[in-house]
Structure 1
Amino acid sequence: MTVTGGVAIVGSGLVKRFARDKKESITALDGVSFEARHGELTALVGPDGAGKTTLLRLVAGLMRTDEGTLRVLDLDAATQPQEIQNRISYMPQRFGLYEDLSVQENLDLYADLHGVSVEQRQERYPRLMEMTALAPFRERLAGKLSGGMKQKLGLACTLVRSPDLLLLDEPTVGVDPLSRRELWEIVSSLVENEGLSVVVSTSYMDEAERCAHVVVLHEGKVLADGVPSSISSRARGHSFIATSTQNESARALQARLIDREDVIDAVPQGGRVRAVLRAESAQSIPEATFEPAEPTLEDGLMLLLRQQTNAKPAAGAAIELADKPAPDREQVVIETHDVVRKFGDFTAVNRTSFEVRRGEVFGLLGPNGAGKTTTFRMLCGLLPATSGTLLVAGADLRTARAEARQNIGYVAQKFSLYGDITVRENLDFFAGAYGLRGARANERIDWAMDNFELSNRAGAATGKLPGGFQRRLAMAAALLHEPQIVFLDEPTSGADPLARREFWRRISSLADHGTTIVVTTHFMEEAEYCDRIMIQDAGTMLAIGTPDEVRQQAADESHPVATMEEAFIAIVEKSRDQVRAKDAA
């Protein structure tokens, strides 16, 4: 039975170390103290490597703390881990669905593992199917589900018994805005209607703002905790909306602002830039006008990280490229005309046409299963089109894919790095794969080491690098041969706000020097960095244009100015409503 009121988790002075080798250890948690209350949502936030996952695993009874005390549901985590596991449900980042089993078979398997009786299943299954909207897909193999549906199935399997405490580790990583909203509706309903206690780690600050309590971790320590407003209020008087006075794009203004020492944070927002400044800075930046803004949790978090750790967002992230003639920004480097891709009877991409110019940042957006990854893979030359025309860097991908690939850099969502070899060895391998030899290869590897701040980790095993450094290495490897076009597939999936700022500062540098960027992303605020975006669903292009043009397409009289996430959801839902109405006619 779910308990409300009182403390569900209390940790005091928690220390957890992991051996790096025989002589050295890493301190993942360093004196962490925190509480989570019954019947509330508690969020764990912080940069990569902050200790969020380690803390969740301690609470789940999967590891023991080296120092300190931890009580979960009034049980001692050190001496009663099995009793804790009997009363909680834990959904890790990589939840173990069995892709060769159907939705129903996965549910039955987890019910068997947890000893759920037939009577309990009859009572529980209908509610889980209703909550997750998976009832029509009971017989579908889990491996055939979209990313969002897989996450919902993972949550359903986690909830196949009624826990007293639910632990969720980054449950919406790689999930589109529609599915993310649906997942949060499920979790919020469980808290509000059933009094379930939930602890969630998240990289999305808008998700953390929904929680009753937020714990900010950094390098294994608690920087702050409390209600979201107690953290956002730290940025009061520092939060502004900036508008350029030089008729430049939001991305260009953001890049200039975030490089300044007197600017704490800057991100594009609604065609302008949201900035967190030192108190006196607004009057000393003549290139922009500043309007005071209500602070957000992310504003407060970035201010906190800057003040207490001196971590500057995107510090040194601008990439140095060789001086070359100014690129022709009107040159079309990607052309698609009536492109179709079928898998048997299924049409994944249906007669898509668009162009991308040199130095443009072009975003491919869409719900999980919309066809954007298929489009992306065709553009990279990894998948042939069924019909239509695809020209990339002047090469026809139907007849000269190898030629096109010489001008392409590719960063996969699941980074194609070799985890058992070192950073330097990975760069050596990719340099050779791109045809770089001798002095030229060494020159480009030295460039990559300097620009991506990898020199101090040259001898480290790639698989043991923090996620942020793996992203840097993947990007560095893709740029070794100085490609004209770089394809980035969900490059910041699961990344914290600091890492996202750093990554996008590098993207802006590349675009400024004429490199064309094609990016897929589920972070709708990242669409604001793009010069143009395209939204797809069910293989069909629904919208294309600048971020402002797409927002205006979604706006109406009752909501004249939409955020990019609101615009995305409105455009996709309108299209789906039209399809349903047509099917019903």
Structure 2
Amino acid sequence: MSVLELSGVTKRFAGVPALNDVRLNIRKGTVTGLIGPDGAGKTTLMRLIAGLLVPDSGAISVLGIDAIQDPLKVQQVIGYMPQRFGLYEDLTVQENLDLYADLQGLPDAERQARYAALTHLTGLAPFTQRLAGKLSGGMKQKLGLACVLVRPPQLLLLDEPTVGVDPVSRRELWAIIYRLVREENMTALLSTAYLDEAERCNEVILLHKGELLGQSLPAEFSQKMAGRSFQATLPGMNKRSLQSRLARSSGVIDSTIQRTGVRIVMEADVQPDPAALPAGIRIEPVEPRFEDSFISLLREIDGQPALPEVSLARAVPSGTDDEEVIIVDQVTKRFGSFSAVKDVSFKVKAGEVFGLLGANGAGKSTTFRMLCGLLPATDGHLRVAGLDLGHAPAKARARIGYMAQKFSLYGDLSVLENLRFFSSAYGLRGSDQRAQIDWALQEFELKPYANSTSQKLPLGYKQRLAMAAALMHRPQILFLDEPTSGVDPLARREFWQRIAALAEEGVTILVTTHFMEEAEYCDRLVIMAKGDILAEGTPDELRARVQSDQLPDPTMEDAFVYLIEEHETGRRSDAVPAKS
């Protein structure tokens, strides 16, 4: 039975098609993933289905209701959670639930039973009197989902519900979604930037530039890539260097660091040529995955065979080899009686890519802000670029670049105006300022958008602009707070190529991320939970810590989930391994 049908749906904004002749059908009782890069039309499609937009042409049927002729009736039977769901942060969890029950007209007699079911399902039962603004990112997402579900919908629309939440919360959200589908007979359509999540869906819909590229089982997309995916290993060579070398090899359309080596995807009917690769390299075939198919399709459509070359030669090395340029020594940060960071210590060497991982609310961003001189530590000592942040925070800030989680751009200013503002704030003037701006526009391919306001940029270009702004003054150390949250896989690959280039030039990089595959790009990392450091080491060392008969080849996500749950429960996690 079909719950959603689109036939010939087209939607334009200012004459530019956001969706073009889209035709699809979603079956009852399924979880369908909506996949596509930035600007693909995913959010536009969601809003059309929800009756919040009207198409220029075509037909939309939702549970047998004409969404164009009767949008209010559609909105009464569906649940829609947009990317920026409207929680009221000054209200408690219970007050938010009450408000949405009022808005959805849930009878008083049904409320207590529904609240009990939802708070149990989402794990929010102990927190009903906590202000929504005091919840972690994962808990906010769960509260948003609970508010959407106050009146049980037949069709649930979720626009990137797992963006910005940690792997533990992501797994919990997926368990909730499948339980709803199974126990409440719902149908779910969700968009996601995490391609491993596509493999958890019953079916996936692939969009690109408003065009429907396909609708099928994830495995059917993967099977088309049979014989084209390989794992390359070269002992003694840095994995980032190997990945960069392979990305430029003939016939390679994708290369990503995976576990102890580099995963490569080849063009159709092309095999890796050992003679053209570094001596001693080992190449083994591996099973294809959905992400391989996704990247291959986009490369083919856009005519982009591989990642572009990057040259960030204006960077300044942060120090000599083995010099410790970031020192965190027994640092504590308290807000009133609450300790966000507790007696934390770690050191970062010059030229390292150092990862700071943790669940939502672990204290990562607080640690970041202290290291940037934006927050004073309550106790302990912080040194960055040879300077004590307790005595010379302003001088230290001149030597670092900071790319905030929400991209601290001025939305009403153009790309060029943002670059002028940030370069001026960093003390650049005259010909030096003009040269840096010209470099940024050229290197980050921002020239076509120079006069566009930053708020209207696609997310991937906002990311480029934010990174360019953070590099205007040639910092020795670069702080990146969840820099790839929400951007599509192509933008993430390009971003990490730039990070690798900076690291090659000797810039020290401290990064937080919720993408566990990105943690593999780090030389070393720490994992935090509730203000404490749980583990420190290389990605290989942390994965080895959780290796067992049940997890013979763990991923970084497996390691992360195991360590977090071990910390919370004091016992070994039985979480299902992430798909590789």
TM-score interval, smaller chain? over 0.9
1:44 aligns with 2:34: yes
Structure 1 Cα separation of the partners of residues 439 and 57 of structure 2: 43
Q: Does 1:455 align with 2:447?
A: yes
SS in 2 for 1:123: helix
Further displaced range: 554-563 or 115-124: 554-563
Determine if contact 1:41/1:198 at 8 Å carries over to the other structure. Answer: yes
- Local SS of the residue matching 2:277: coil
Check conservation: 2:315, 2:474, Cα contact below 8 A: no
Of the three residues 315, 335, 340, the one matched with 1:343 is: 335
Aligned-partner Cα distance in 2 for 1:62–1:483: 45
2:497 aligned residue (497, 502, 505): 505
The one of 370, 374, 386 aligned to 2:366? 374
- Contact map agreement 2:414 2:453 (CA 8 A) in 1: yes
Letter in 1 for 2:441: M
What residue number does 1:35 align with?
25
Is 1:291 the counterpart of 2:281 in the alignment? no
> Which residue is equivalent to 1:354?
346
Distance 1:324 1:371, change over 3 A: closer
Question: Counterpart in 2 of 1:7?
Answer: 2
Asked if the contact 2:463–2:483 (Cα under 8 Å) also holds between the matched residues in 1, the reply is yes
Which one of 211, 230, 235 corresponds to residue 225 of structure 2?
235
Distance 1:37 1:559, change over 3 A: same
Which runs of no fewer than 5 residues in structure 1 stay unpaired? 1-5, 20-24, 581-585
Query: 1:39 is matched by which residue type in structure 2?
Result: G
Kept after mapping to 1: 8 A contact 2:312/2:498: no
CA contact (8 A) 2:167 2:561 kept: yes
Q: How far has the Cα of 1:143 moved from its partner?
A: 0.2
Partner of 1:303: 296
Q: Give the aligned partner of residue 146 of structure 2.
A: 156
Partner Cα distance (2:563, 2:13) in 1: 47
Give the alignment partner of residue 256 of structure 2, picking from 262, 267, 282: 267
1:485-544 Cα deviation digits (max 9, x unpaired)? 000011000111111101111110000100111001100000001001100001111101
Equivalent position to 1:435, from 402, 427, 430: 427
Aligned partners of 2:71 and 2:326: how far apart in 1?
A: 56
Find the partner of 1:60 among 50, 55, 59.
50
Distance 2:54 2:17 in 1: 14
Give me the whole-angstrom Cα distance separating, in 2, the residues matched to 1:313 and 1:528.
21
Q: Does 1:407 pair with 2:399?
A: yes
How big is the shift at 1:121? 1.2
* Structure 2 contact 318–325 (Cα < 8 Å) conserved: no
Structure 2 partner of 1:192: 182
CA distance in 1, matches of 2:459, 2:494: 13
The range that moved more, 425-434 or 254-263, is: 254-263
The alpha-carbon deviation at position 261 of structure 1 amounts to: 4.8
CA–CA separation in structure 2 for the residues paired with 1:525 and 1:378: 26
When normalised by structure 2's length, the TM-score is 0.96
- CA deviations 1:50-97 (Å, max 9, x no partner) are 000000000001000001111111111110111100100000000000
Q: CA deviation at 1:416?
A: 1.0
Measured in 2, the distance between the counterparts of 1:313 and 1:216 equals 21
Q: Distance in 1 between matches of 2:358 and 2:141?
A: 17
Deviation at 1:314?
3.2
Q: Structure 1 residue 258 and structure 2 residue 250: aligned?
A: no
Please report how far the alpha carbon of residue 579 of structure 1 lies from its aligned counterpart in structure 2 after TM superposition.
Answer: 9.8
Rounded to whole Å, the distance in 2 between the matches of 1:111 and 1:251 is 51
Residues 223-272 of structure 1 show CA distances to partners (whole Å, capped at 9, x for unaligned) of 12111111111211111111126x21222211222233521111111121
Corresponding letter in the other structure for 2:510:
V
Q: Pick from 76, 95, 100: which aligns with 1:86?
A: 76
SS state of the match for residue 381, structure 1?
coil
Residues 1:314 and 2:304 aligned together: no
TM-score, normalised to structure 1's length? 0.95
Paired residues, what number?
568
Decide which of 552, 564, 569 is 1:572's aligned counterpart. Answer: 564
Could you tell me how far apart the structure 2 residues matched to 1:216 and 1:430 are? Answer: 38
Choose from 324, 328, 334 the match for 2:326: 334
Counterpart of 1:3 in structure 2 is: none
Contact 1:263–1:281 (Cα < 8 Å) also in 2:
no
Evaluate the alpha carbon distance shift between residue 187 and residue 144 of structure 1 in structure 2; reply closer, same or farther with a 3 A threshold: same
Find the aligned partners of 2:290 and 2:118 in 1 and give their Cα distance. 32
- The alignment partner of 2:204 has SS state of strand
8 Å CA contact 1:327, 1:513 repeated in 2: no
Q: CA deviation at 1:33?
A: 1.2
